[in-house]
Amino acid sequence: MTTHVLQPKIWVDHYADYLFNYAVSRVSDTEIAKDLVQETFFAGLKSAKNYKGDAAERTWLIAILKRKVIDHYRKINSNKGKAEVRMTYNTSSETEGDWLEEQVADPMSILENSDIENEELGIAIQECISKLPKKQALVFTMKTVQGMSTEDICNELDINPSNLWVMIHRARTTLMDCLNQNWF
């Protein structure tokens, strides 16, 4: 049995750009993405003893980063996180604020979007995705939710790019119809 040893000294040179691109595609904020990558490296160092070598080093770091992204959204969606976001909102102005709720639900809405509405929309989207044919749901999730490249998806699922885009188009059309019936 081969022992797999992590090489933290090469992480920044070999993985930082990839991890950053992954993080920024999930949080849409370069500063937060940088922080998440740093947190990922620290967590990797702290949990290095748990690395079994079952996955490539980069894959293992991405798994840590995914948890950091989830933790980030959990934090900003907690009551404390919402209070911090709202404190910077200028109530004396009639311009739109940068509230997370406005970005998630409908940035053009003149009404404040409620937490319940956002939660219900998330549930409606998940239910609609679960009604898609299995392969369409997988392709849609990989491309749209996880942000994987067309090439990676095609290689992983052994399909060509034309098939991928047809499946994504069909998934989007079906999802929109489902959301129109169950949400809007």
Residue 78 confidence class, pLDDT cut points 50, 70, 90: low
Distant-in-sequence, close-in-space partners of 9: CB < 8 Å, separation ≥ 6: none
Write out pLDDT tens, residues 81-106: 444 343 344 444 444 444 333 334 44
- E-strand stretches of the chain: none
> What DSSP designation does 145 have?
I
Distant-in-sequence, close-in-space partners of 53: CB < 8 Å, separation ≥ 6: 2, 3, 4
Specify whether the CB–CB gap between 43 and 64 falls below 8 A. Answer: yes
Indicate yes or no: pTM above 0.75: no
Write out pLDDT tens, residues 100-127: 333 344 444 444 445 555 667 777 788 8
Q: What is the mean pLDDT of residues 13-23?
A: 90
The pLDDT value recorded for residue 72 is: 84
The pLDDT value recorded for residue 106 is: 43
Domains of the chain plus CATH, in order, are: 1-92 (1.10.1740.10), 107-184 (1.10.10.10)
Helix 11-27 to helix 30-46 angle (10° resolution) is: 130
The pLDDT value recorded for residue 114 is: 52
Coil vs helix vs strand at 184: coil
Q: What is the mean pLDDT of residues 169-178?
A: 88
Instruction: Name the nearest CA neighbour of 143 among 62, 57, 25, 17.
Output: 25
Specify whether the CB–CB gap between 102 and 96 falls below 8 A. Answer: yes
Write out pLDDT tens, residues 133-161: 999 988 888 888 788 888 888 988 889 98
The pLDDT value recorded for residue 116 is: 56
Write out pLDDT tens, residues 33-77: 999 999 999 998 898 888 887 778 888 898 899 888 888 877 776
CA dist 4 and 163 (Å) reads 37
Mean pLDDT of the chain: 76
